[in-house]
Amino acid sequence: MIKPKRRAYGFINMSIAYMIYRWLSKCSPLLFLLLISLNVSAQGLRVAVAANANFVLQQLKADFKKKTGISVEVISGSSGKLATQIKNGAPYDLFLSADMGFADDVYKAGFSSTKPRIYASGSLIVCSATGADLKNWKSLITQEKIGKVAIGNPALAPYGKAAEQAMNYYKIYKKAAPQLVFGESISQVNTYVLKKAVNIGFTTESLVYELPSNSGMKWLRVDPAAYAPIHQGVLLLKHANSNLVNGKRFYDYLFSSAAKKIFKDYGYSL
């Protein structure tokens, strides 16, 4: 008795599928394209983004969804860790690195169908939530009395690498080394600063625009001559081939006038 029922169900399912196929085949081309478009739009995107740009990506994904109806899931971390995850098969559709180096590594490893392209350039700042006087920060961070100074791990976080370059540029790295605390990503550095676990931190200028006006954060831009330009690169990954239409739409959106305005509002240059 069981086997015939299974055959009957299979026949019914095949019949329904055939009826749907016949119906679709009789649809007008316009309706058919609309149905395909709705199906494509329903597929969300997974975007791996360097921690420095996590907050601005939240603003971008909201604007993108408003314009297209396409959802974006943001996965944030240090550029180095995200690059490793991608090379280990993480199912991300796009990668927004905090520098061109990690983006180039992923491209050369064969995980992207597009070459790295600069979507924004970042600015390094020195900051404090504890009221430290930053006018003489170069001498201040070499003094034991200042306490801990946070930077990102230079091997994983491009803003940490920029901070290291700046200290070497001013020939103070060795003297400052005993005070340094390394965060795995720039978001961890920001946590150290905001929770006052350190007196001073080196981070992205975009942090300033995420905070309320009464936050009490003191900050100064580090002279751009002291570190290599922080050109941030984006890749459309090969994993996006299964969702290529939406992946390409978000990739193109990052270079739109609307996205450029949001990047500028959060301290990035273009």
- Predicted pLDDT at 257: 98
pLDDT of residue 26: 53
- Cβ distance 75 to 27 under 8 Å? no
Q: Which of the four CATH numbers 2.30.42.10, 3.40.980.10, 3.40.190.10, 1.20.1250.20 does domain 43-121+230-265 have? A: 3.40.190.10
In this structure, are strands 94-96 and 230-236 parallel, antiparallel, or unpaired?
antiparallel
pTM of the shown model? 0.81
Is CATH 3.40.190.10 correct for 122-226?
Answer: yes
Q: 122-226: same fold as 43-121+230-265?
A: yes
Q: How far is the CA of 132 from the CAs of 147, 206, 236, 237, in angstroms?
A: 11, 20, 42, 43
Domain ranges for the chain: 2-38, 43-121+230-265, 122-226
pLDDT at 143: 95
What is residue 214's predicted lDDT score, i.e. its pLDDT?
85
C-alpha–C-alpha distance, residues 76 and 68, integer Å = 23
Q: How many Å is the Cα radius of gyration of the chain?
A: 24
Query: What is the mean pLDDT of each successive set of 10 residues along the chain, which is 270 residues long?
Result: 41 42 46 37 83 96 97 97 97 97 97 95 97 95 96 96 98 98 96 97 96 92 98 95 91 98 96
